[in-house]
Amino acid sequence: MPYNSLLPNDLDSYWLPFTDNRWFKKNPRMLIEAKGMYYKNINHDLILDGVAGLWAVNAGHCRKKIVSAVQKQVAQMDYALAFQMSHPKAFELANKLTALMPGDLNHVFYTNSGSESVDTALKIALAFHQSKGNNNRNIFIGRERGYHGSGFGGTSVGGITNNRKQFSSLLKNITHLPHTHLPEKNSFSKGQPKFGSEKAEELDHLVELHGASNIAAVIVEPVAGSTGVLVPPIGYLEKLRKICDKNNILLIFDEVITGFGRLGYSFASERFQVIPDMITMAKGLTNATVPMGAVGVKSDIYKTIYDNNPENIELFHGYTYSGHPLACAAAIATLEVYEEESLFEKAKSMEIFFQEAAHSLAHLDVVIDIRNIGMVAGIELRERDYNSMTMARDVFEECFKNGLLVRYTGNTIAISPPLIATELEIEKVFSILTKSIKNICK
């Protein structure tokens, strides 16, 4: 059957998320197959995946082991109730995850997405403080340019103006740290930038202003992805940890992007040697095969909430699909693939090659900054005089035409390929990107 007969004849009914629907529907980009490093579009052209789907398909697409695990599971047991019941794979996965997590993050709460993981972590923070009798600790501190998903909690602690401005009533009791992006000092940094750790000291000011006894938690992405790959300055995360410790404020790392090998380690917290009190995760957890998220929780938090409710449900929170059997099967198989193929170590050993390939674009006139760490890079383009935010979007479209999938956010092109990428594939990513930038930014 020719694929065109599969084209929907009406594109109007589906409202795409985070998309200019008019723009998309004028020239829809449809994907129909995926394998390893490649997608196929509706014309059967191969599209090299430069962003691991949405920073998620870390082991590459349609991995046999993961696909078979899901197929086997769906045939054996499609669903098991999540409340007051469970199934063995949910525990097996939790044990595997606690072995991967740093420090005494020894407990796992399952969700279905990064957004749900963030909202869950925020609620756990409140429940923890309440269990200790600290009901006033209810202020959350996010960071400018942070992205924490699209739930009410995540949008509120998030610091992306466009994501907030349509919604007039977000959570109250939220404040934000300044972002750490200092292009005038740090542009074209390789790895962690030198300048800007003092931005963490703003937390001291916020504590002074609001009172430590009113603050529940600080939430940051160790490396901010969605606002254009902002790598933490050297010493920055360490300072945040210190100030949180001094004031008994919980520190949450949102590792939805940075988890599962993106930075060459299980989690960014391991790479930066800074252990948070909770880690939110999703995406690479199941290689994006089945939606799933999770929150890693420190023993002290779990135990405090648990002990405070000896005769009742200790946490009134959860989802119908928490620990869904298909998601658990996918996640267990995914973690096995990561381990069998040493994909985190592979990412680590590829980092310098990837970095140099990314920075090879520095000679392009229109490129005003390149930032990278692990297997993620942001290439920022100069704004146009007209229609300022369309340059990166045009480059994204041109890349797709030329057989490469990239991500754009504002004026930044983000690259984060599956961790199975070879040197040749990395070179191909950056050479198609270079050609596409040249075509668009003549």
Contacting residues toward ligand PLP, per CB under 6 A: 113-115, 118, 147-149, 221, 225-226, 254, 256-257, 282
Q: Residue 66 CB, nearest distance to ligand PLP (Å)? A: 18
Beta bridge partners of 179: none
Distance CA 407, CA 17 (A): 15
Q: Residue 427 CB, nearest distance to ligand PLP (Å)? A: 27
- DSSP, collapsed to helix, strand or coil, labels residue 251 as strand
Q: Residue 17 CB, nearest distance to ligand PLP (Å)? A: 9
Distance CA 393, CA 437 (A): 11
Written as one letter, the residue type at 107 is H
Q: Residue 224 CB, nearest distance to ligand PLP (Å)? A: 8
CA angle, corner 102, sides to 146 and 226, nearest 5?
A: 20
**Could you say which DSSP state residue 224 is in?**
B
Q: Residue 223 CB, nearest distance to ligand PLP (Å)? A: 9
Written as one letter, the residue type at 440 is I
Query: Is 144 or 427 the residue whose CB approaches ligand PLP more closely?
Result: 144
Q: Residue 243 CB, nearest distance to ligand PLP (Å)? A: 21
Q: How would DSSP label each residue in 350-384?
A: HHHHHHHHHHGGGGSTTEEEEEEETTEEEEEEPPP
Query: Is 253 or 430 the residue whose CB approaches ligand PLP more closely?
Result: 253
Query: Is 233 or 291 the residue whose CB approaches ligand PLP more closely?
Result: 291
Distance CA 411, CA 103 (A): 37
- Which residue shows structure tokens 């007209």? 386
Q: Residue 212 CB, nearest distance to ligand PLP (Å)? A: 26
Written as one letter, the residue type at 88 is P
Beta bridge partners of 380: 369, 412
**Could you say which DSSP state residue 391 is in?**
H
- DSSP, collapsed to helix, strand or coil, labels residue 41 as strand
Query: Is 41 or 120 the residue whose CB approaches ligand PLP more closely?
Result: 120
Query: Is 282 or 305 the residue whose CB approaches ligand PLP more closely?
Result: 282
Distance CA 250, CA 143 (A): 15
Q: Residue 74 CB, nearest distance to ligand PLP (Å)? A: 21
Distance of CA 340 to the CA centre of its chain: 23
Query: Is 131 or 258 the residue whose CB approaches ligand PLP more closely?
Result: 258
Query: Is 149 or 325 the residue whose CB approaches ligand PLP more closely?
Result: 149
Query: Is 59 or 288 the residue whose CB approaches ligand PLP more closely?
Result: 288
Residue 274 phi, psi dihedral angles, 5° rounding: -130, 120
Q: Residue 280 CB, nearest distance to ligand PLP (Å)? A: 7
Residues 6+ apart with CB under 8 A from 377: 229, 354, 355, 358, 370, 371, 414, 415, 416
Residue nearest to ligand PLP (CB): 114
* Token pair recorded at residue 376: 């993620």
Torsion, Cα 354 342 414 142, to 10 degrees, reads -130
Query: Is 207 or 223 the residue whose CB approaches ligand PLP more closely?
Result: 223
